[in-house]
Amino acid sequence: MSASHDEISRLEAAYRRAKFTIICHAIFLGTACFVGVIVRRAAGLPPIFLFTVLVVALVLFGGDIMKLFYCRNELKRLRGNLSS
């Protein structure tokens, strides 16, 4: 029983770290899009420029997004096993 509580507390800490990382990535992405809009208008670039910023961000941050989903799913599974 104690092992499951230790595992849950470890996963909760990992989930909080992953959530904080995703929030920081979202702030960075918002800033990058804002700067991208300004650069696109100033340089006369096509609208696909902003789409490229979004795709690159998803590729770069995909591992962190998957880590967040993994921790969330494992927490749900362990809490479900603990309650039943």
Dump pLDDT digits (tens) for 31-73: 988 998 999 999 998 988 888 888 988 899 999 999 999 999 9
Dump pLDDT digits (tens) for 4-36: 888 889 999 999 999 999 999 999 999 988 998
SS3 45: coil
| pTM of structure | 0.81
CB 71 within 8 A of CB 21: no
- H/E stretch holding 3 reads helix 2-43
Q: Predicted confidence band at 1 (pLDDT cuts at 50, 70, 90)?
A: low
